[in-house]
Amino acid sequence: MAESKSYDVVIVGGGPAGLACGQYSARAGRKTVILEEMATGGQTMVIDQIENYPGLEKISGYELAMKFEQQAISFGCEIAYATVQDIQRLEDESFVVNTTDGPYCTPVVVIATGAKHRNLEVPGEAEFTGHGVSYCATCDGPFFRKKRILVCGGGDSACQEALFLSKLSDDVTICHRRDRFRAQASLVKAMQESGIKTMMDTKVLSINGQGGKVTSVTFQNAITGETFTQDYAGVFIFVGSIAQTQLVPQCKKDDFGYLATDSHRMTSVPGIFAVGDVRDTPFRQIVTAAADGAVAAHYASEYIDERVGQKY
């Protein structure tokens, strides 16, 4: 059996929230490890260019993620590449995080596993992600200023993001597979009043491009079966997202499946914190994820002092 390792703070997930948490926690003198399955950086890695991270004019997602990682390591945070299998809570309220690299013992677990956007799963979507296909209007919208933009989806996210994009371009179309939006009526009304064109009962069949960039989208009318192609420079996909909460079924979630947290970023289970896209926050950005990490690290440290103290 693999020997267990002891840490003050074990962070599950090495995206911006997890890395920022690791940095703050290690800098506060806590023995900290980030457990990452694949590569650090999370969804940041797929962003071509970031121009809204405060203090950095323009930077690629990869470069920013590497800076996050290097800074965390420079303060003594460890990064271990392992898959977390489960998290057990012991009688003394500490945890054993079982991984493919053996067990990790800790009084504090920070869940930074993120949320995966749901894909449309049409030809061209994966190929042009970061080159015309985007899942984040705030991040990538400005690259399509005054260009023809398509938004896919019919929920609150699609309508809200379409409204954001309509401030950058007066040629925004939203396409939804049904005859009515799922989004709140007020958002739909605001969207319609803003001049956004709507294409109902319309499915995306493929996203097409040339020279490594999106140039058009092929649709099918769900009623008539007719197919047609229109030119677009940017395709923003908001067809729902899936919070990665499988490791903590005991923690309370909000109505949308995100982990419910208090102002300290603590979940309903004492000692389990949640940061970034996996938690119940209405605005998901790299900067808000990083801020979550800092907040959780601060209160995790306080939690260790106040509630665990000598027990650990």
Check binding of 37 to ligand NAP (CB under 6 A).
no
Check binding of 189 to ligand NAP (CB under 6 A).
no
Residue nearer to ligand NAP on the CB measure, 160 or 285: 160
Check binding of 245 to ligand NAP (CB under 6 A).
no
Residue nearest to ligand NAP (CB): 155
Which residues between 158 and 177 bind ligand NAP (CB under 6 A)?
Answer: 158, 160, 177
Check binding of 114 to ligand NAP (CB under 6 A).
no
Stretch that binds ligand NAP, among 71-79, 142-150, 152-160, 272-280 (CB under 6 A): 152-160
Residue from 9, 163, 239, 275 touching ligand NAP (CB under 6 A): that is 239
Residue from 102, 130, 155, 270 touching ligand NAP (CB under 6 A): that is 155
Name the CA dihedral angle for 290, 293, 295, 301, rounded to a multiple of 10 degrees.
-150
Alpha-carbon distances of 50 from 58, 140, 167, 222, 283, rounded to whole Å: 6, 8, 19, 36, 17
Those residues with Cβ within 8 angstroms of residue 240's Cβ, 6 or more apart along the chain or in another chain: 117, 118, 153, 155, 157
Those residues with Cβ within 8 angstroms of residue 230's Cβ, 6 or more apart along the chain or in another chain: 150, 173, 216, 217, 219
Stretch that binds ligand NAP, among 45-53, 101-109, 149-157, 215-223 (CB under 6 A): 149-157
Residue nearer to ligand NAP on the CB measure, 98 or 113: 113
Alpha-carbon distances of 29 from 7, 26, 46, rounded to whole Å: 11, 5, 32
